[in-house]
Amino acid sequence: MDMIFKLIAGFFCAAGFSVMFNMPRKLIACAGVSGVAAILPYLLIIQSGGGLIVAAIAGSIAVGLTAEFFAARTKNPSSLFTIPGIIPLVPGYSLYYAMLYLVQNDVDLAAQKGAEAAITAISIACGIAVSMSLKREFTALKERNALKRQR
């Protein structure tokens, strides 16, 4: 039940972010689905005992691939779906506690939470880059195969 709640929350988190930035109404549901695509592999990996880095990379790869799918379907830029989709993965908890511990002069815990947030953010960026590279390679392979068939 907890997982279903988190998936629904991921949908509304991404959809709400889309509304806040005036995304066209017909695309808001697609952006919400990209939020679910982010949170599902993240939760599955965390629950199975996987690490935070692997979970963040898997979630962001899923967002990137979902965004590319919706971009092709709706003929819109993939960033319309990527940016709202990664919002559920943003390490707000870690950043909040890093600042809290910093204000409380607990530098060790602040550094630990700050490093956790930075590593998560870097993992998200790497996952997006991997998914975009996969899409480019797939498109290039598809074009090469189409050229070979024409000959």
Over the stretch 10-49, which tens digit does the pLDDT of each residue have?
999 999 999 998 999 999 999 999 999 999 999 999 999 9
Indicate the pTM of the whole model: 0.87
Place of tokens 């947030």: 117
Burial of 12 (0-12, 13-18, 19+ CB in 10 A): middle
Give Cα separations from 137 to 64, 142, 144 (angstroms).
14, 8, 10
- pLDDT tier for residue 145 given thresholds of 50, 70 and 90: confident
Contact 13, 37 (CB under 8 A): no
146 — pLDDT class (breaks 50, 70, 90): confident
φ and ψ of 99, to 5 deg:
-70, -40
For residues 120-135, average pLDDT: 93
Q: Is a pLDDT exceeding 80 seen at residue 87? A: yes
Average pLDDT over the chain, rounded to whole?
93
Report pLDDT digits (tens) over 55-83.
999 999 999 999 999 999 999 999 999 99
Question: Residue 151: pLDDT above 80?
Answer: no
CA distances from 140 to 27, 115, 134, 137 (A): 27, 37, 10, 5
How many domains would you assign to the chain?
Answer: 1
Closest CA relative to residue 92, chosen from 127, 116, 76: 116
- Amino acid symbol at 100: L
Q: Is 80 exceeded by the pLDDT of residue 93?
A: yes
Q: How far apart are CA 67 and CA 60, in angstroms?
A: 10
**CA-CA distance, 7 to 115, in Å (whole number)?**
26
Q: What is the mean pLDDT of residues 77-104?
A: 93
Q: Is 76 helix (H, G, I), strand (E, B) or coil?
A: coil
Domain membership of residue 23 as a residue range = 2-150
